[in-house]
Amino acid sequence: MPAEWAPHERTLMAWPARPELWRGQLAQAKADYAATAAAVAAFEPLTMVCADESAAAEARAALPGEVEIVVEPIDDSWLRDSGPIFVNSSHPPQRRAGVHFGFNAWGEKFHPFDKDAAIGARLVELAGDDCYRAPLVLEGGSICADGEGTLITTEQCLLHPSRNPGLSREQIEQHVIDFLGLERVVWLGQGLVEDRDTDGHVDLIAAFTKPGEVMLQTVPEGNPNFDNCRENAARLEAAGIDVVEMPHLPYSEVEGESVACGYMNLYVCNDAVIVPVSGADTDPDALSRIAEGYPGREAVPVPGAVLAWGGGGPHCITQQVPAKP
């Protein structure tokens, strides 16, 4: 599995398709998806998956002309989790393939999800690659890889009984290693306490900046995430991974709810890092830290509060297609 910063052929996204999720924020969610798509499309090709022709027409009107629109059946718009994970072979003949993991809408929290459970394999087919079906429920937001054989995840999510109740920790780890071409899995403990929908996805708290280095969410004492963040830092350090702290976790109010609007759900694309911001005083320093963590890439801010309220951010709504080897 290549690191996210490896060269991309393109990025995949999906247009918002579950109105009841967004309630009164649906129009803003679509605007924020469009802003994220435009930010990514300035640096690499982008394909937007739309549930039907009506959604496709709406997307075409909102997106830059160079964005490719495809119509395929989908239930929701979080392609990081429902989409395929692409891997490149490290031995001859060198080629790219897609891994299609099982998807059950984060432990059947949302219905229906049968279309999303099938979209991964379809997108691999559209890319013209071979598809490998893994006997494991796994969302792309629950993992982060360094491109050199190390992957981080959280016990809270990958071992959650709503995902793979018939599999042991050892079996889950071996499936991940086998299908993604890894050498080891480093297990963190918990994700954000505010992350109720995905049960602690790692992409809300951590991101590799280079092999052997992770930018990690930290918080001050008094924040309910303090102990979990400290434990995660200790686990990374015990695994020989350097920790770069992201000490900011601002909160915004959306639909009368307090929403954690962190910065770690960033997306690394060709020559840029797409970063969610919420208008907090900490936005400039967070962008500076991220630009420093990914030298040679522009840190590009996009609206993040409504996406966070809906359950994610730029990373959750994108899925990279790495360049073929």
Is 316 assigned a catalytic role?
yes
Does 93 sit behind a cis peptide bond, omega within 30 degrees of 0 on the bond before it? yes
Q: Is 72 left (phi over 0), alpha (psi -120 to 50) or beta?
A: beta
* Burial label, 124 (beta-carbon count in 10 A; 0-12, 13-18, 19+): buried
Token pair for 120: 């991964």
| Other Cβ atoms within 10 Å of 156 Cβ, number | 21
Catalytic residue among 157, 229, 261, 316: 316
Q: Which residues contact 280 (CB under 8 A, 6 or more apart)?
A: 248, 250, 252, 261
Say how many CA atoms lie within 13 Å of 58 toward its Cβ. Answer: 18
Catalytic residues: 316
